[in-house]
Amino acid sequence: MPVVSAFYAALTALLCVVLSSLVISQRFGKAISLGDGGDPTMSRAMRVFGNFAEYAALVIVLLALAEILGVSRTWLHIYGAAFVLGRIAHAVGLYRTPKPNIFRASGVTLTLAALIGLAIALLLATLPKVS
């Protein structure tokens, strides 16, 4: 059973709810029903959510596949935690300012590290075993 993957899928779902709630809040507050209405704050809120969504499904699938193929739980937690913390850091950084900052940089770094780590783990797990 992919229990570790399920744990990070649940955390990712909760983060999705938080980020989408921020977009909804902006929409109500600015009376913008579709698109960004030319408002830079609305545009930024949409990009924070969109950027999150662009990575979330792929990472959860990779985590589940890695777990099914027997990658150690320790590594799964490292990858999962890196992804979740990375997306939180990125969201905080992008909400603060559209300019590059330490939160955005660390968020991108953690996210890409999780993706690369999971990709390598999957490649290693699928290599034929030499007897």
Residues 18-70: tens digit of each pLDDT: 999 999 999 999 888 888 888 988 999 999 999 999 999 999 999 999 999 99
**Distances in whole angstroms, Cα of residue 30 to Cα of each of 26, 40, 44, 97:** 6, 11, 14, 19
Q: Tokens 């399920």 identify what position? A: 6
Q: Is 1 exposed, middle or buried (0-12, 13-18, 19+ CB in 10 A)?
A: exposed
**Predicted model pTM:** 0.91
Domain-wise residue ranges, the chain: 3-125
The architecture CATH gives domain 3-125: Up-down Bundle (1.20)
Residue 63 is predicted with a pLDDT of: 98
Average pLDDT over the chain, rounded to an integer: 94
Instruction: Give the list of residues 6+ apart from residue 66 with CB closer than 8 angstroms, or none.
Output: 5, 75, 76, 79, 118, 121, 122, 125
Residue 120 is predicted with a pLDDT of: 97
- The tens digit of pLDDT for each residue in 84-101 reads 999 999 999 998 888 889
